[in-house]
Chains A and B, each alone.
Chain A
Amino acid sequence: MGNNLTEIIYNVSALIALGAMVTAFLRMIIGPTIADRAVALDAMTLVTISLIAFLTLLLQRKVYLDVAIVYALISFLGVIAVARFLDKGL
């Protein structure tokens, strides 16, 4: 975190990511059907991956990017399971 502009950009991007997560979670709370909640889970997964990449930049640790890669590879399984369950049963 070098100069002032970098800090401002980091703060604004983190606030945008957290706001997106809160909005997706509101859809998860009030969503009438299960499909709404599955889409909200998918959106929260994407926001989580971007937030982990942001933490990699903020804390300057390259190990955290491996977590984001593993998460991006694994996380589609839950949404696929819910979609398959809604279609004809797992």
Chain B
Amino acid sequence: MIMVSFYILGIIILLAAILAIYARNIVTAIISTGVISLLVSILFLLLAAPDVAMTEAAIGSGLTTMVFLYAYNRIRRIRERNDG
């Protein structure tokens, strides 16, 4: 069952990475990056590294998504101001 979990999570991580690269919408890519760090933390847990998994869960899924969305929002606002 551990190996089945490895394979399924690995396939989902690969598909999420492909979605993050080839997505046209930037917010889709950001959410997909959050999904990647979500599942990578489970893989760290399966590889018997709970502290790394905890750090990855806190930083990768929570903080990185917020920082990326904040930066994208700033870029969008500056672009609207320059156009208008």
Contact = CB atoms under 8 A, between A and B. Distances in A.
B57 interface: yes
A85 B15 CA distance: 25
Interface in B31-73: 31-32, 34-35, 38-39, 41-42, 45-46, 50, 53-54, 57-58, 61-63, 65-66, 69-70, 72-73
Contacts of B12: 21-22, 25
A34 B25 contact: yes
B42 A90 contact: no
B1 A75 contact: no
A25 to B, nearest CB: 5
Contacts of A14: 1, 4-5
Given A51-B42, A63-B50, A77-B66, A89 B73 contact: yes
B57 A71 contact: yes
B62 A74 contact: yes
Contacts of A58: 1-2
B61 A28 contact: no
A61 to B, nearest CB: 8
Tell which of A18, A38, A45, A90 has the most Cβ of chain B within 10 Å.
A90
A82 B68 CA distance: 10
